[in-house]
Structure 1
Amino acid sequence: MMSEQFISTNDYVASEQLMASVNVAIALKKPLLIKGEPGTGKTMLAQAVANSLGKKLIIWNIKSTTKAQDGLYMYDTIQRLYDGQFGEAGVDDIAHYIKLGKLGEAFESDEQVILLIDEIDKADLEFPNDLLWELDQMEFYIYETKRTVKAKQRPIVIITSNAEKELPDAFLRRCIFHYIDFPDEVLMEEIVRTHYPDVEDKLLKNAMDVFYQIRSLRDIRKKPSTSELIDWINALQIGGIPAEDIRAKLPFVGVVVKKDEDLETVRTKLD
């Protein structure tokens, strides 16, 4: 029996399958690896889980230059050298110059937290393997102070990937995996209405019809995402656009279509 259960929140609508994957990962105490095309709510999921369970969210944003060590701790040798030159007190205490990274911060927390490792595939190929021990054992060693940092409360780890690179098999074996499918029209309507509960039915239907038609066009290079549909509906409401003009005039279509060639394709094919 699982003691903690993630459910959809007022700001985030999750499918039954996604909620099940989150709750299984929590119960098995394994990282949850989330993939899906951009704009399907991968990053927002971590905030939704934190809100649902009433826990703090710690975000580790991964870049191409990020190393696993960055998430553990940093030894600020430059600051220590600077302080030594000016005779600052405590310069002999190396611990004073150790700064924990996001993983270390999650381990040191007295309360269980949600740790989001966002866009792990942006880093080099060795990055996921370099985290295997820490994510398995929930601890790491600080050589400068000879101290082991062990998780006081095992964090709930959510990892996102845009599938830019293949992740190592050894890493995948340690994760619960879930692919967020693009929402169908029923789920999409529910998602939109969480943001704009008073949106006019006809405006929503017409906007969604055009949106899904654009996504279905074979020559579209960048398919519009959920977040872009939400922004578009907001723009249509603010602009006071009649529902019947949405298909005929494609008002504010630049909110949804972001590439010149795609814009031309949309205007040609939906004309």
Structure 2
Amino acid sequence: MKFTGTDSYVATEDLTIAVNAAVTLERPLLVKGEPGTGKTELARQVSAALGMPMLEWHIKSTTKAQQGLYEYDAVSRLRDSQLGDARVHDVANYIRKGKLWQAFEAEERVVLLIDEIDKADIEFPNDLLQELDRMEFHVYETGQTVRAVNRPVVIITSNNEKELPDAFLRRCFFHYIRFPGIETMRRIVEVHYPGIKDELLTTALTQFYEIRDTAGLRKRPSTSEVLDWLKLLLAEDLSAADIRREGKDALPKLYGALLKNEQDVQMFERLAFMARGGR
């Protein structure tokens, strides 16, 4: 089985090579890139393309590695013991399986997404080293060892908010999703909005890349944001002439889909004012 992208996901050649290399090596694929470049969606498309079920583990700042394995609900067991419930005699009744456990015991090979690993504590990746390497872990409360029936395809995403430990990186196949160039972006847009008028698309993408390349921009718009912007332009039935700006520094039509903080909006307003000669 080889991943070559899907009808709804444009995968560049280097990305497909990375996915297939990670599958062949049976190592986690660590994917980095700007927010909005399709890292999370990649896992869903790999799942669809390879015909594998998918499990998603979305990481938060409070997430602990142990939660991916299992959690022991001691509070419920204590409450049940006070009520005389017979379930208390079997500790397994109070073990909640995490996403790794579910992936390990699945009857068929699955895609496991560990999304935004860099949101968690710095020790989080280290706490998963052995489990992801050996594909097994021990359940201390029951004394059992859980081993992967079928080694899952593990895809880990990171927005590069913090550095990941070297020991963790050694166990991964790494790929950085570069921001797509204009021709790749055209292909992406065609997937989402087939038949979009070429003049409108050319004008919109020219503006989009001008905005992204503006010096001093605090939050550069991403792929998902240009898709939202184009959706609005199409919904309003705007033409290329309708969205042309007086100068490259002027605010674009429906700019709220592209500019996401007041500092960037104010910067473009100042640039537009200066371009008009301060009038």
TM-score, normalized by length of structure 2? 0.93
Report the residue type matching 1:196 in the other structure: Y
Report the equivalent of 2:248.
none
Question: 2:218 matched to 1:216?
Answer: no
Aligned partner of residue 104 in structure 1, secondary structure:
helix
Report the equivalent of 2:189.
192
Question: 2:168 matched to 1:163?
Answer: no
- Same amino acid, percent of matched pairs: 55
**Structure-2 separation of matches of 1:233 and 1:172:** 37
Report the equivalent of 2:99.
102
**Structure-2 separation of matches of 1:173 and 1:232:** 39
1:262 corresponds to which of 237, 255, 264: 264
Alpha-carbon distance, 1:247 to partner: 2.5
1:32 corresponds to which of 11, 25, 29: 29
Give the number of equivalent residue pairs: 268
**Structure-2 separation of matches of 1:184 and 1:265:** 25
Please say if residues 25 and 31 of structure 1, whose CA atoms lie closer than 8 Å, have aligned partners that are also in contact: yes
> In the TM superposition, what are the counterparts of 1:44-55 in structure 2 within 5 Å?
44-55=41-52
Structure 1 210/267 Cα, relative in aligned 2: closer, same or farther at 3 Å?
A: farther
Report the equivalent of 1:241.
238
Aligned partner of residue 153 in structure 1, secondary structure:
coil
Please, which moves more after superposition, 88-97 or 228-237? Answer: 88-97
Alpha-carbon distance, 1:266 to partner: 2.9
Which runs of 5 or more structure 1 residues have no equivalent in the other structure?
Answer: none
Alpha-carbon distance, 1:224 to partner: 0.1
Report the equivalent of 1:17.
14
CA RMSD, aligned part only?
1.2
Alpha-carbon distance, 1:147 to partner: 0.4
2:111 corresponds to which of 106, 114, 121: 114
Report the equivalent of 2:83.
86
Report the equivalent of 1:139.
136
Provide Cα deviations, 1:59-114, integer angstroms capped at 9, x if missing partner. Answer: 11111111110100011111111222222232201011111111111111111100
TM-score, normalized by length of structure 1? 0.96
Report the residue type matching 2:35 in the other structure: P
Report the equivalent of 1:64.
61
**Structure-2 separation of matches of 1:259 and 1:245:** 24
Alpha-carbon distance, 1:243 to partner: 1.2
Report the residue type matching 1:147 in the other structure: Q
